[in-house]
Structure 1
Amino acid sequence: MTMVNLNEVLRDAKKNRYAVGAFNYTDFSTARGIVAAAEEENAPVVLQVAESHFPYISLEQAGKEAIYLAQNAKVPVVVHLDHGVDIKTAIRALNMGFSSVMLDFSTKPIEENIEATRKVVEYAHDVNATVEGEIGVMTTDTGEGKPDYNHLDDNYTTVADAKKFYESTNVDAMAVSFGTVHGVYREKPNLNFKRLKEISEAVPVPLVMHGASGLSTEEYRKSVENGITKINYYSVMSFNVVNGLKKYLNERTDQTFLYDVDMKIIDLVKNDLKEKISIFGSENKA
């Protein structure tokens, strides 16, 4: 299976009302687990690395690992830069062979966001790659100062801004804010499905959910029903894998070696993500 870009998987997802899982990795074992989950579920998948994770894995190393896995996978795999915060980083990723990039200028003034995203779109389309942009500000729950869950609507994406952003950038996918929060939720989020549906009806491109860790099955499915076609899921998976690994190591009575840990990580990632792929509705869509 050859590596694909976002358009090659998200257009069908939008048409047939399911979402493609987009999962982050910071090491080769996690990346292998992501692809293994997609292969066992016969699902397309987005294998992505975030610029914020570059202290743990470089863009060059992450790219080589993902491109190798994508080119040898049994299912369509998008190799994607997640939350790129610099135009130069996005261009570097495209020059390396990433099939898709995200430029996140969502905290900047809308005109600056539009101008930067448009530049990356023009470059990416010349090399048959895709671009995800973000309009509206996503709140983050770091555990060190909880966001005000009662006023998340202050940062919701507006329909007018979404239309302007799409029409001015020709972006391939759009991340929008409708109440989700980056990190692990410590309170129940207040998701505005009405706003999400309005945006979906106003722009023709697939919509992306960030901050999808910890939502209920019903919330995932209702998000898909109202226009989400790419779901970014990482924080809870990371938490679950670490705790599963702790349990595994504490229960081992024989000698444990590094390769045992690597294989266990692959298995834990795979099993966590297989469940999500099924919930998102992308199983057997490869």
Structure 2
Amino acid sequence: MKKMTLVNLESLLSKAKEEKYAVGAFNATDLNTARGIIAAAQQENSPVILQFAESHSKYISLEQAANMYLNLAEHTKVPVCIHLDHGESFNTIVRAIKLGFTSVMVDASLNPFSENIQRTKEVVKIAKALDISVEAELGIMNAEDGSGSLDYNMMDDTYTSVQEAEKFVSETKVDALAIAFGTVHGLYKKEPNLNFNRIKEIQDCTEVPLVMHGGSGLSSEEYQNSIANGITKINYYSTMSYEVTNGLRDYLNNNDNAFLFDVDTKTIELVKNNIAKKMEIFGSSGKA
């Protein structure tokens, strides 16, 4: 008998917003990582978002990811949302919808404001008719390239505008909005400078669930302050990927007789333990 609890993003985040916690959104480009994420959700009795970024199609196809995610969701009791992360092309978004994704992100944040609204509205019109949730992004999410040139204290001009956020949500009717308030994609090279008040200002004027991108590498306090001010979805990937890789390296250095299936099992364990800790910090443990 199937035990799947496949849900859309809106249903997960509306509960999280009401009860003041955040749901973790975790990327997976291989089966073992995805299995580890689901194992953590089951252990913690936590809702979970399995997501595939369009930019990761060089590692695994959208179709392969959909089959993998859906199969895992069919055999778990916790609520699972299957989400397209950073959907930049209309074609990819439509393909994800056809494949069974329950939520999609329209990332037109690098386009002019009016074009971002128009492209988002086109997707919302299609998705809402199919009970599929839509996330959009407003503001510029800086990426840490490791060069040390990114000044975390001088990013105010890239933060999401409160006035634009209010207009954007009103016109597009999105289910969730990813905002820029000081986080960056990738691994932090210096101490981040987060504007928690900007989160609250946007939350107060839009009342839509807000999303943190660049959710790797923050302290427990920074996560929890973000949640207290309105963040209800946290994208977390880079730090997990880096720490699991280091864990595997240590394991292999200490286990000369390890086989590939031993590495598979160890990967699942490392991912599960890493994700479970974040679910506790985000407050989603026990909320399934």
Taking structure 1 as the reference length, what is the TM-score of the superposition?
Answer: 0.98
CA RMSD in angstroms comes to 0.9
Give 1:75's match in structure 2, choosing from 64, 74, 78. 78
Query: Residues 100-158 of structure 1, C-alpha deviation per residue, up to 9 Å, x if partnerless?
Result: 01111111101111111111111111111101000011000021453121211110001
CA distance in 2, matches of 1:6, 1:71: 17
Alignment-derived partner of residue 116 in structure 1: 119
2:162 aligned with 1:159: yes
2:245 aligned with 1:267: no
Give 2:42's match in structure 1, choosing from 29, 39, 43. 39
Alignment of 1:1-286 (within 5 A): 1-144=4-147, 146-253=149-256, 255-286=257-288
CA distance in 2, matches of 1:79, 1:159: 29
What fraction of aligned residue pairs are identical, expressed as a percent?
57
CA distance in 1, matches of 2:258, 2:197: 51
On the 8 A contact 2:39/2:272 being kept in 1, the answer is yes
Alpha-carbon offset, residue 88 of structure 1: 1.1
In structure 2, what residue type is equivalent to 1:242? T
The alignment of Structure 1 onto Structure 2 pairs a total of residues equal to 285
CA distance in 1, matches of 2:240, 2:184: 15
Gaps spanning 5+ residues in structure 2: where? none
CA distance in 2, matches of 1:114, 1:134: 10
Gaps spanning 5+ residues in structure 1: where? none
Q: For 2:154, what is the secondary structure of its paired residue? A: helix
Q: For 2:60, what is the secondary structure of its paired residue? A: coil
